[in-house]
Amino acid sequence: MRVLVTGASGQLGMDVVSLFEQRGYQVLGCSRSELDITSIEQCQKMLGDYKPESVIHCAAYTAVDAAETDIDGAYKVNAVGTRNIAVAAEKVGAKLVYISTDYVFNGRSAVPYQEYDNTDPQSVYGKSKRAGEVLVQSLSSRYFIVRTSWVYGLHGNNFVKTMLRLGQEKPSLQVVNDQKGSPTYTVDLAHFLDELVQTEKYGIYHASNSGDCTWFEFTQAIFEEASKIGILIKSELEPCTTAQFPRPAPRPENSVMEHLSIRTNGLTDLRPWREGLIDFLKQI
């Protein structure tokens, strides 16, 4: 299978390219410098020349707080850029995988979100990613929308790397304990995308590592598992509230997503989040 990956230099994109190459696909990974997704001409030329059978659209504007003031920038990438990729993919008959986010929900549900629950994004980032979903659904006849959450991997900056660094530097750390979600290891998500793209089971999917925790509980697990493999952690952990750390963009209290589509389509669910974390720590 010929696969084109946008955002190929990002933390998910790099693992998708690596895994898909190992699986024997012909992969063209496009970083921002190689493909400006906000140019419809560039998208149509790149996809028209390469003629991929599948496009994994990882490129995104993900600076959640910056998006609150850079509204045009967020929509230009997440909405217009996604439209351009959807139109170009449709022209060459490619399947399209759009990576989306838990931020399309309002984060106030008492139970995990299902794929068919009503969306209600509260931040500019969430609204722009939801706009991308709507455009994919409108313009593509062979699409997978994959919503994920709390992503971390070997490449780029992420919460796990930050906590490991701070845990070795600071005597004490306060971590938010009133937001819960499901941490997702990029390698596990890439394996799911590999399985998904081989099917015709189009639609919306929630894909995160199984189980849930708060950011505080996640940090506790990071420190516990890091200590087991000889990483010296000196920080004392303290739980705190979201209100103690105000940010420009609102954060969801509940980011936990139900994997209804994975189950009903007979696909392989992602393993428990702590198992993914242990493997990640061994890799770094």
Distance CA(248)–CA(202), nearest Å, equals: 35
Select which of 98, 103, 113, 125 is catalytic.
125
Under 8 Å between Cβ of 125 and 61: yes
Whether residue 125 lies in the annotated active site? yes
Amino acid identity, position 280: F
218 CB-near residues (< 8 Å, 6+ apart) = 150, 159, 183, 273
Cβ within 8 Å of residue 216, ≥6 positions away: 175, 176, 177, 237, 239, 240
**Residue spans of beta strands (DSSP E) within the chain:** 2-6, 26-30, 54-57, 95-101, 143-148, 151-152, 172-176, 180-181, 184-185, 203-206, 213-214, 236-240
- Residues annotated catalytic, as ranges: 125
